[in-house]
Chain A
Amino acid sequence: EAGVTQFPSHSVIEKGQTVTLRCDPISGHDNLYWYRRVMGKEIKFLLHFVKESKQDESGMPNNRFLAERTGGTYSTLKVQPAELEDSGVYFCASSPRRGDTEAFFGQGTRLTVV
């Protein structure tokens, strides 16, 4: 069974550009989470989808970030326009049901804004 996959693995963009990150959760997992780790800091929650609905987006930094999960399958996280402080590793995780004790993480997308 394929795990959580994220694309791209690395992205280097200039300040002001737009970047879209993609996450494919494990098939059948209703819950999908986005997290971000800025260098030297802890992994921080961004938002949580249950199927195609945003359950909790309290961690989204600002309105430059837009997450979607059309059809309740894969999800995208768009940053527009990107700023230097957006650099970090963006992780996606999924789990079958709400309250599951284990979430499966992807390997992350390392975003560098220059």
Chain B
Amino acid sequence: ETGVTQTPRHLVMGMTNKKSLKCEQHLGHNAMYWYKQSAKKPLELMFVYSLEERVENNSVPSRFSPECPNSSHLFLHLHTLQPEDSALYLCASSQDRGVGETQYFGPGTRLLVL
């Protein structure tokens, strides 16, 4: 098992619901990431945090709201999602935010929006 955990592993929600995804890393890393993985598409970077500061918001709709209370925890708050938001949401961490740092991934949360 990797040092990055995600909960829940599966989530079904209606378009009017509000839910949150949680990620925790036990590696002592300073940078954390949210990715979206849709079928037959490359992983899409959504957000990057370094030392709890957001350094990238990759043109993500406002219905996705990230939160990084400390360097070990990362949340993704979801509200009024659309069916096309159904995907695997992956969290990753790296030692630092520098180019070339290895990213370690969690197992993902499989999200279905009805």
* A interacts with B: no
